Amino acid sequence: MRTTFVWREGPINAALWKDREAAVNDLGGEMLERHELDAFLTLAEELHFGRTAERLRVSTARISQTIAKLERRTGVPLFTRTSRRVELTRAGRQLYEEVRPAWDQIAAAFARAIDAGRGLTGTLRVAFVGAAGGQLLAGAAELFRRRLPDCEVQLREAQMVDLMPWLRDGQIDLALGTFPIEEPGIVTGPVLVSEARMLAVPSQHAFARRTSISLDDLARVKLLQLPDTLPVSLRQDRTPHTTPSGRPIEPGPAASTFNEMLTLIGAGHGAFPVGAQARRYYARPDVAYVRISDAPPLRWGLLWRADGATARVRAFAEAAHDLVTSS
């Protein structure tokens, strides 16, 4: 995970928006509807129809219909779809890169106008797991306070076992966690950080002497398990039952905290997939980190309750996004 952030703020560039407005409104000679832009931009980021529908709180069929309508109007495919994945085409990527900045500026300006009218105040409670997550949120909180000086941010460190219960019980308003999170009533924001996926192993393990391993090599270790308070979607992603070729992976004991996980690994009780930032923040003589060469990156983002999407929550999510994209 990236750990140093530089940010800047500036007014909306009127000339830039004028050019992009013309490009957006040129699609078929008609003004694009907001729900069409939301569907396109969200799908371009999620690359998954189900997650896009969940974020926008509509049906998957509605997303498919909206994208098909946009593609008919542009005259070119914006996405390629297979039974296993969704990807942007060249035309789709170009449209996303041209529309996203202008749309973000408009949405941010409108949200700031609303917040100013409401006199946005109060306290926002935000939780993180791990040192790198805390550093990221500290930077986002500083930017948030600069924008909204009448709002306070309370940062809380959570253990893995506590993160989702705290969020569901209302003890916190936002949480920084790893994806995928597919839970009813929980909204996932945009991906803030992606990092290489590595396997934490005992320092005496044979893998510790290698520069990388493959996902099929996981059949040769026992994988420690995440606490069952975390969503099934996340547990299946981090600790699968089989390798891509179908070889079984032996499950190990579960751990409630990350330090407990590392202690079990150092004692030889198993291994666990982690992000590359663990090498910097959790260097230990009894644990080694080896890259998984063919694994997808670990993705981090904010989570909040669907019924708790207040103006403060949206403003903090915007600050976090602006922080990482400007660094």
pLDDT at 217 over 80: yes
CB 43 within 8 A of CB 49: yes
**What is the percentage of the chain residues whose pLDDT exceeds 70?**
87
Structure tokens at 263: 């202690």
**Which segment of 9-13, 17-21, 131-135, 321-325 scores lowest on mean pLDDT?**
9-13
- CA 41, CA 103: separation in Å to the nearest integer? 9
- pLDDT band for position 116 (cuts 50, 70, 90): low
CA atoms within 13 A on the CB side of 196: 16
Instruction: Output the pLDDT for position 281.
Output: 95
Taking residues 158-179, report their average pLDDT: 94
Please report, in angstroms and rounded to a whole number, the separation of the first and last CA atoms in the chain. 13
- pLDDT band for position 133 (cuts 50, 70, 90): very high
Taking residues 175-183, report their average pLDDT: 93
Instruction: Output the pLDDT for position 26.
Output: 46
Give tens-digit pLDDT for 7-26.
333 343 444 444 444 444 44
Taking residues 25-33, report their average pLDDT: 58
Instruction: Output the pLDDT for position 118.
Output: 58
> What is the pLDDT of the chain when averaged over all its residues?
87
Structure tokens at 193: 């950080």
Instruction: Output the pLDDT for position 52.
Output: 92
CA atoms within 13 A on the CB side of 88: 16
CA atoms within 13 A on the CB side of 223: 27
Instruction: Output the pLDDT for position 83.
Output: 79
CB 158 within 8 A of CB 204: no
Write the DSSP string, 271-323. BEEEETTHHHHS-BTTEEEEEETTSPPEEEEEEEEGGG--HHHHHHHHHHHHH
Within 8 A by CB and 6+ apart from 197, the residues are 273, 274, 275, 276, 291, 292, 295, 296, 297, 298
- CA 263, CA 92: separation in Å to the nearest integer? 46
Write the DSSP string, 165-198. HHHHHTS-SEEEEESP---TTEEEEEEEEEE-EE
Give tens-digit pLDDT for 226-280.
999 999 999 999 999 999 999 999 999 999 999 999 999 999 999 999 999 999 9
